[in-house]
């Protein structure tokens, strides 16, 4: 067992850090408060090889490991928290599911622009009446000649206001076995985007309505019976979500640490008050524990898909640690931490959402408990 990064991983981290300091440090605060997607960052990252890290080289990716992608997201976030979302979009989200399960036709159609940082793909699972109970989704796919007609709506979808393509979970038939997924071109006739709304983080989302949208048969990603495979792919997204939680918690921690070594009250540095030292010790323990759980899940997955149980443990713990640490860091910085002068308040708002998104902490704990007792527990009835 070795808890250090390999020489290659350290080299990769140093090169991502150099890139981030050069291109992302300036403007980090402005980016965090801009609801628009940072396209200029996406294009720079594409040139640097930071999009498609885990995708196969034959598909235009870098052929790297999931651990490389985790290192990239952490390192970018340590300089510009908002830019970590671009690493997520280009590596961990539905792009990875497309890379894993997509046909050559589908990959040729969409991957180039996604990997060039010119477009993003959304995953639409959640519906007004199907949140945690995602298998209750109603969006239907009904046969129509050579393809399918899609009817229904999706809510809270990340990038929904501007995504070029939507990987939509749909129902081909009844029950869990009837669920699969299709790729819906963002310009399809019958696809309507509602008025953009904002999360607490400032990110925009828009309700997606599918009104008899035609999807050719070539655009079915995983047909009937594809749900389990889709969730296996979605575990990668969960690790990206966990990585960002941890990274933003760490960003806030580092800023508060610097602050405690500069700010004086009662004639002493904040770092010299034992009440604050213990806060830092608690934060450090949480960050280190979260890091180990995250690295275990990512390393064990290597270039495959991560274990559901290790992913659930890593995500639930990183989500909690990221939020708690960012929140304590804000407290240590007083009013300055609460002000938009600093990025710490952004880290708190952003980390809060990841405790809900991509499988809430409660739903992940249900999954962990199943492992503990070696059986499943129906949440219904
Ligand atoms: C920032 C953000 C980004 C998101 N991005 C996307 C996206 O890109 N695509 C997408 O499809 N969706 C997205 N979502 C939606 C997200 O997946 C859902 O919010 C999530 O699944 C929870 O559903 P819900 O909000 O309807 O809450 P509900 O399911 O209504 O749950 C409400 C509360 O009850 C708890 N709860 C529910 N059932 C149980 C149970 N059985 N046991 C214990 N507790 C339970 C939940 O944990 C939660 O605290 C995003 C959400 C957020 C906040």
Residue 102: per-residue pLDDT? 97
Q: Which residue, judged by its Cα, is nearest atom 24 of ligand 1?
A: 131
Tens digit of pLDDT for each residue in 136-183? 999 999 999 989 999 999 999 999 999 999 999 999 999 999 999 999
Distance between start and end Cα atoms, the chain: 45
Q: List, as one string, the DSSP characters of 272-293.
A: G-HHHHHHHHHHHHHHHHHHHH
Residue 42: per-residue pLDDT? 98
Any alpha helices (H) in the chain, and if so which ranges?
Answer: 7-23, 28-32, 39-48, 66-79, 84-91, 94-101, 104-115, 227-260, 274-301, 308-332, 334-338, 344-354, 361-373
Q: Which residue, judged by its Cα, is nearest atom 35 of ligand 1?
A: 362
Q: Are 121 and 95 in contact (CB under 8 A)?
A: yes
- With cut-offs at 50, 70 and 90, classify the pLDDT of residue 319: very high
Distances (CA, A) of 44 to 33, 189, 233, 310: 20, 32, 26, 33
Tens digit of pLDDT for each residue in 183-195? 999 999 999 999 9
Mutate-to-test residue for ligand 1 from 93, 96, 358, 367, highest number of ligand atoms within 8 A of CB:
358
- With cut-offs at 50, 70 and 90, classify the pLDDT of residue 306: confident
Residue 1: per-residue pLDDT? 81
Q: How many CB atoms lie within 10 A of CB 373?
A: 8
- Residue 184, beta-bridge partner list: 166
Torsion of CA 209, 212, 215, 216, to 10 degrees: -170
Tens digit of pLDDT for each residue in 89-122? 999 989 999 999 999 999 999 999 999 999 999 9
Closest CA to 314 of 283, 336, 293: 293
Tens digit of pLDDT for each residue in 114-140? 999 999 999 999 999 999 999 999 999
Residue 304: per-residue pLDDT? 72
Tens digit of pLDDT for each residue in 23-38? 999 999 999 999 999 9
- With cut-offs at 50, 70 and 90, classify the pLDDT of residue 356: very high
Residue 302: per-residue pLDDT? 74
Q: Are 331 and 337 in contact (CB under 8 A)?
A: yes
Ligand 1 binding pocket (C-beta < 6 A) is: 122-126, 131-132, 156-158, 199, 353, 356-358, 360, 362-363, 366, 379
Answer whether residue 303 shows pLDDT above 80: no
């Amino acid at each position: 067992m070795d808890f250090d990064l390999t020489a290659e991983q350290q080299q990769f981290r140093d090169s991502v850090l150099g890139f981030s300091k050069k291109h992302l440090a300036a403007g980090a605060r402005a980016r965090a408060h801009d609801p628009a997607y940072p396209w200029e960052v996406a294009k720079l990252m594409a040139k640097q090889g930071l999009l498609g890290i885990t995708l196969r080289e034959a598909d235009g990716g870098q052929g790297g490991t999931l651990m490389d992608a985790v290192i990239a997201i952490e390192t970018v976030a340590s300089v510009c928290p908002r830019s970590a979302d671009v690493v997520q979009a280009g590596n961990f989200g539905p792009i990875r599911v497309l890379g894993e399960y997509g046909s050559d036709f589908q990959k040729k159609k969409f991957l180039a622009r996604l990997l060039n940082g010119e477009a993003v793909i959304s995953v639409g699972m959640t519906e007004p009446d199907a949140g945690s109970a995602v298998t209750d989704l109603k969006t239907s796919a009904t046969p129509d000649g050579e393809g399918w007609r899609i009817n229904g709506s999706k809510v809270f979808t990340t990038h929904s206001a501007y995504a070029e393509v939507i990987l939509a979970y749909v129902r081909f038939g009844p029950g869990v076995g009837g669920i699969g997924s299709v790729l819906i071109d963002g310009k399809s006739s019958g696809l309507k985007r509602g008025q953009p709304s904002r999360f607490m983080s400032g990110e925009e989302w828009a309700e997606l309505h599918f009104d008899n949208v035609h999807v050719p048969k070539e655009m079915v990603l995983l047909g009937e019976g594809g749900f389990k495979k889709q969730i296996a792919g979605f575990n990668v997204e969960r690790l990206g979500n966990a990585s960002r939680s941890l990274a933003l918690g760490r960003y806030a921690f580092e800023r508060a640490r610097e602050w405690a070594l500069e700010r004086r009250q009662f004639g002493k540095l904040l770092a010299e008050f034992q009440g604050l030292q213990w806060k830092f010790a608690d934060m450090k323990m949480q960050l280190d524990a979260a890091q180990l759980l995250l690295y275990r899940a990512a390393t064990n997955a290597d270039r495959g898909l991560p274990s559901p149980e290790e992913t659930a443990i890593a995500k639930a713990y990183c989500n909690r640690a990221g939020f708690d640490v960012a929140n304590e860091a804000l407290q240590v910085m007083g009013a300055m931490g609460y002000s938009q002068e600093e990025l710490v308040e952004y880290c708190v708002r952003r980390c809060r959402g990841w405790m809900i998104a991509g499988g809430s902490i409660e739903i992940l704990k249900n999954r962990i408990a199943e492992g503990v007792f070696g059986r499943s527990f129906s949440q219904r009835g």
